[in-house]
Amino acid sequence: MKKILVLTGGGDCPGLNAVIRAIVRSAEKSGEYEVWGSIEAFNGIMRDPPELIKLNFENTAGIHVKGGTIIKTTNRGNPFSYPVQNENGKWEKVDRSDYLIKSIREKGFDIVINIGGDGSQKISSMLHDKGVNIIGVPKTIDNDLSATDLTFGFNTAVQIATESFDKLVTTAASHNRVLIMEVMGRDAGWIALHTAIAGGAEICLIPEIPYRITSVVDKVKARYNSERNFVNIVIAEGAKAKDGQNSGQLSKDAGDPHFKYGGIGSVLRAQIEQEYPEAQVRTTVLGHIQRGGTPVAFDRILATAMGVKAFKMAEHGDFGKMVSFKNNRMEIVPLKDAIAKYNHIAMDNYLIETARETGITFGD
């Protein structure tokens, strides 16, 4: 029997459990592999005693319907830059990759499948350079990985955001208000753009198009002077004004090196109120609701297909590579290519035109 180690790293995302279940089912079908989960990304296998769980048909049955990940995840488990508290209580970064690789080998794992976003796949690539037989499965609600047309979790996030947007439309209309909804997405505006089109927003502000507040206020005034005198705005957390800066802060969680976006919706509210005090403005921040709960059917299917493909790659020895959904096919891309480029929305993307033609202002 060959042994596969599966882990989920970075932020959670609807569909992770469907990938795990699919890998386990394919592996059991082959009869030649057993699958183990490392609890909390690589932390599980690096702990003493290790936290590993043998995954089988019984303990993965029905999990594709559930949000989150049954094997847990963390943003603080990079083995190349591992947070360790020294005697003075200060946090230091230590390279524990050699220890990790030793643990993988000592515990008899032949193959590692790392389900994660760009940060996790950078780690996959570095481990592959050090000789680990590793395969990547892309995940993120942000859809910001350029090597795949779509990531699972994204459609669920858009569905949740759209349903929330629909609710905000009826209350905006009742009060003649400007309602701003801030959505996730990091440096990409995919969730915002899709939600704005699905919901029918008047204004959509995304990181790819820094906005001019005068342009936003002009649109608000035009709406206030029409019969439909209310406004619904979708703003991506990574958006900013032309002469402004991003809202957020460095993570306060020890060992998490990321800048955490958040707060641009409130900044926009203050900007509109200053320029146009007649408008009644409110902000809603959707936050982690976008990542929780049950995945929509499309994400369950995409995640399941990616899990099956990852197992096939394991069987064929396609290491140092990542599963990719391209042109409606399951493809394989080298990890190095997968992490090379960030997936911003290109200005010639058909949805930019779709939005403009249906009356959505980007504030440019």
Interacting residues toward ligand F6P by CB under 6 A: 11, 75, 140-142, 184-186, 237, 260-261, 291
The one-letter code for the residue type at 5 is: L
The one-letter code for the residue type at 334 is: P
User: 142 vs 202, which CB is nearer to ligand F6P?
Assistant: 142
Q: How far from the centroid of its chain's Cα atoms is residue 291's Cα?
A: 8
User: 73 vs 97, which CB is nearer to ligand F6P?
Assistant: 73
Provide, rounded to whole angstroms, the least separation between the CB of residue 299 and ligand F6P: 14
Provide, rounded to whole angstroms, the least separation between the CB of residue 168 and ligand F6P: 19
How many contiguous H segments (helices) and E segments (strands) does the chain have?
12, 15
The reply to whether 142 belongs to the active site is: yes
Give the Cα separation of 324 and 319 in Å (integer): 14
Please pick, among 12, 118, 142, 144, the residue that the annotation labels catalytic: 142
User: 90 vs 252, which CB is nearer to ligand F6P?
Assistant: 252
Q: Which residues pair with 361 in a beta bridge?
A: 203
Provide, rounded to whole angstroms, the least separation between the CB of residue 185 and ligand F6P: 5
Provide, rounded to whole angstroms, the least separation between the CB of residue 175 and ligand F6P: 29
User: 66 vs 260, which CB is nearer to ligand F6P?
Assistant: 260
User: 52 vs 147, which CB is nearer to ligand F6P?
Assistant: 147
The encoded tokens of residue 167 equal 């609710």
Provide, rounded to whole angstroms, the least separation between the CB of residue 247 and ligand F6P: 11
Taking CB positions, which residue lies at the least distance from ligand F6P?
184
Provide, rounded to whole angstroms, the least separation between the CB of residue 211 and ligand F6P: 19
Give a three-class secondary structure readout of the chain.
Answer: CEEEEEEECCCCCCCHHHHHHHHHHHHHHHCCEEEEEECCCCHHHHCCCCCEEEECHHHHCCHHHCCCCCCCCCCCCCCCCEEEECCCCCEEEECCHHHHHHHHHHCCCCEEEEEECHHHHHHHHHHHHCCCCEEEEECCCCCCECCCCCCCCHHHHHHHHHHHHHHHHHHHHHHCCEEEEEECCCCCCHHHHHHHHHHCCCEEECCCCCECHHHHHHHHHHHHCCCCCCEEEEEECCCCECCCCCCEEECCCCCCCCEEECCHHHHHHHHHHHHCCCCCEEEEECHHHHHCCCCCHHHHHHHHHHHHHHHHHHHHCCCCEEEEEECCEEEEEEHHHHCCCECCCCCCCHHHHHHHHCCCECCC
Provide, rounded to whole angstroms, the least separation between the CB of residue 344 and ligand F6P: 14
Give the Cα separation of 136 and 116 in Å (integer): 7
User: 69 vs 75, which CB is nearer to ligand F6P?
Assistant: 75
User: 114 vs 140, which CB is nearer to ligand F6P?
Assistant: 140
Catalytic annotation, residues: 142
